[in-house]
Chains A and B, each alone.
Chain A
Amino acid sequence: MKDLKNLIFFENLLLEANNELVQKAQAGGKICVAYTCENTPEPLLNLPGCFSARLRAPRTGSLDISTYYMTSFLCEYSRALLERAIEGGFNFADCIITPDGCSMINRCIENMEVLKALGKDKKNFFFEYMEVPMKADDNGLNLYVLQCKNHILKPLSESYGIDVSDAAIRKAVTEHNHVCELIRAIGEFRKEDNPRITGYEFSVITLATYVAPKYLLIEKLEETLKELQTREPDEKQNYRARVLVVGSEMDDTDFIKLIENSGAYVCADRYCYGSLPGRNPIILNDEEDALTQICRAYMNRGECPRFMNTQKMDHRREYVNELAKEYKADGIIYEQMKFCDPWAYEKMMGSTILRNKYGYPVLAVDRPYSIGISGQMQTRVQAFVESIEIKKIQRGNVNG
């Protein structure tokens, strides 16, 4: 296939947390709201006058200092963020808002706060911690709304004079939805039998929408969608199996590349930082205030393992099944970042249930934050692809 015109532009945005568009937006007087967890409602961080940047630590090397502060038993994502913060790599942020999504991220941000690793020379800088619901019900919704008011809207308004009115929120949702619709439209091409976009390309584009100001991406996204509409896929399929990737926080596009280099096509992304359900548009009505509707949307769609009610837990696996069907996945890869407690359990449950109850071939792997080129992982994916192929052949023989 011909290379996507903007792929390098998107890839470049992922090379630094303080990327070109973050700098451009800040130069234009916008406030950069850093965040670390998918349970933070994004549109509220993208109100007029501010934009969100989800923190990641690209090109992570040594984790020595953060390992001293948090030991080697915490996940590498939390350690990489702390290391980068101590190095001064997040000093561009004007504030940070984080829910107690998991203990590790909570501790990571708290270390940043105690060590004063963020907000250098920024007098209005603030740390805000939120309590986000662990169940999807009315009580949870009330909590979510209150927490967003107290820990997002109030500090943004008081520290930076951001307009937090219903109208401003609705405007932010409109912009958010536009980006979501573009991503979903681009992602639709993955359903094709011979897709015109690779899983890697899609992951790069999606990831860019989390780490760069959305309003500065829209033009490139529209252009890419247009380009894809006429893009010719290779005549010969490059993949031997279609897989759905499910799992924990993943901002490492190399992992997707590694899977695709091992013979599998990543047809869908159900992981934190992915598009499913992270890039579902938020449909607002005019009767209810926008904040409540946003919170409800986040609460109902959330697939994070921290949601603890049975209905939500069951839905996590049902949703993977639905996606696998919709995106015609031959198999499922459950990935978990090493030392991630929530996904350690969900990987065990999900992989077993998807295999035994729904009948999918499933590969369950744990991985470091930054995988690079891991021969071990490649071998596992290759073996998985082969096992899917063998199953297909066996099924073909049985069918006649």
Chain B
Amino acid sequence: MYVFLHILKVIVIIVLILFVVTFGVYIFNLDMKLTAAIYPWLQKHYDKIDRDQHL
């Protein structure tokens, strides 16, 4: 019983932490802020690719 409650407690804590973290990411738009930081770097990468550009 104790083991079960312990596991349940751990699960609840993990879920809670996950919720707090993901909700924080969600409400503060951190996902978009991260991708916004990646975006300019990607553009530079695309500029470097050799392309068979023609009609």
Contact = CB atoms under 8 A, between A and B. Distances in A.
Q: CB atoms of A and B under 8 A apart anywhere in the complex?
A: yes
Contacts of B21: none
A349 to B, nearest CB: 6
Interface in A346-364: 348-349, 352-353
Contacts of A353: 55
Main secondary structure of the interface of A (DSSP, over half): helix
A158 B32 CA distance: 68
Interface in B7-55: 55
Interface in A32-82: none
Contacts of B55: 348-349, 352-353
Interface in A312-361: 348-349, 352-353
A352 B55 CA distance: 8
Interface string A246-274: 00000000000000000000000000000
Contacts of A348: 55
Interface residues of A, number: 4
A349 B55 CA distance: 7
A313 to B, nearest CB: 12
A160 to B, nearest CB: 48
A364 to B, nearest CB: 13
A348 B54 CA distance: 12
Nearest to B55: A352
A82 B55 CA distance: 36
A348 B55 CA distance: 9
A317 to B, nearest CB: 11
Contacts of A352: 55
A10 B55 CA distance: 42
Nearest to A353: B55
A257 to B, nearest CB: 32
Nearest to A352: B55
B47 to A, nearest CB: 23
B33 to A, nearest CB: 40
B52 to A, nearest CB: 14
A12 to B, nearest CB: 44
B1 to A, nearest CB: 76
Contacts of A349: 55
B53 to A, nearest CB: 12
A185 B35 CA distance: 69
B15 to A, nearest CB: 57
B55 to A, nearest CB: 5
A130 B55 CA distance: 33
Nearest to A348: B55
A397 to B, nearest CB: 30
A50 B55 CA distance: 46
B13 to A, nearest CB: 63
A218 to B, nearest CB: 44
4 contacts: A348-B55, A349-B55, A352-B55, A353-B55
Interface of B: 55
- Which A-B residue pairs are the 3 nearest by beta carbons? A352-B55, A349-B55, A353-B55
